[in-house]
Structure 1
Amino acid sequence: MATCKHCGHKWGWKETIAQLFSFKRKLKCTNCHTNQYISVKSRNQLSIVGILISLIFVPLISFGVPLRYIITSEILIYVFYIGLIPFLIKLSDQEEVFW
């Protein structure tokens, strides 16, 4: 789970999801109200996993799996992935550059 680098407050699942879906770079700790940022390592890991999930359909199509099964499996995998995101995120108290 995400933990505030300033006060050590451990964010809950709902709190983390709510912060992420605000689509802001700065995430505010609900305990000490300081700005927190998703670490570069976490952003990279989340991006790679998201891309890999998107690429699952390529071999499924080539093996002739019906489209409704592919779409259903993609949706289920993305829902599972979104549920796991709060456990994969690490926070930083400074905004880190991507490169």
Structure 2
Amino acid sequence: MPKCQNCGKKWTWGQTACRLITLGDSLRCPHCRKEQFLTAAARKKTGTSVFAAPLIMFISVAFGIDPFASLALFAISFLFILGISPFFIELTDERGPMW
């Protein structure tokens, strides 16, 4: 789980997941309310994981798997990726380069 660079407190999984689905490039610490930013490495990890669920669905359709099974596979992989993505988050208190 990420740790605030300002106050040093660790975020919970729920706090991290809620902040990841918000728009914007900064995440506000739930403890000290200071802005935190994803590191470049964390942006790369989370950015590439977004494509995994649609890729799994495309592959299943390409191999002729039933559309309902393909949709179920997509939903399961999406929830799995959403569940593990907070563990890959690293924070910094400075806005860095995009990549």
Instruction: Provide TM-score, normalisation by structure 2.
Output: 0.88
- Deviation by residue 1:10-32 (Cα, 9 ceiling, x = unmatched): 00011112222232322111222
Cα distance, 1:94 vs structure 2: 0.7
For 1:28 and 1:34, the matched residues in 2 are separated by 6
Q: Which residue of 2 aligns with 1:72?
A: 72
Code of the residue aligned with 2:71 in structure 1: it is I
What SS class does the counterpart of residue 37 from structure 1 fall into? strand
> % of aligned pairs identical?
26
> Structure 2 counterpart of 1:9, which letter?
K
**What is the identity, as a one-letter code, of the residue corresponding to 2:45?**
Q
Q: Structure 1 stretch 69-78 or stretch 24-33: which is displaced more? A: 24-33
Q: Is the 8 A contact 2:56 2:73 kept in 1?
A: no
Corresponding residue number in structure 1 for 2:30: 30
State which drifts further: 70-79 or 23-32: 23-32
**Which aligned pairs between 1:46-85 and structure 2 lie closer than 5 A?**
46-85=46-85
Corresponding residue pairs, total: 99
Shift of 1:58: 2.8
Specify whether residues 80 and 52 from structure 1 end up closer, same or farther in structure 2 by C-alpha distance, changes over 3 A only: closer
What is the distance in 2 between the residues matched to 1:87 and 1:78?
15
Amino acid at match of 1:43: R
Q: Distance in 1 between matches of 2:58 and 2:24?
A: 32
Shift of 1:33: 2.1
Q: Which stretch shifts more, 2-11 or 45-54?
A: 45-54
- List runs of 5+ in structure 1 lacking aligned partners: none
Q: Return 5+ residue gaps in structure 2 as ranges.
A: none
Alignment-mate amino acid for residue 54 of structure 2: S
Give me the whole-angstrom Cα distance separating, in 2, the residues matched to 1:73 and 1:6: 40
Distance in 2 between the 1:78 and 1:98 partners? 24
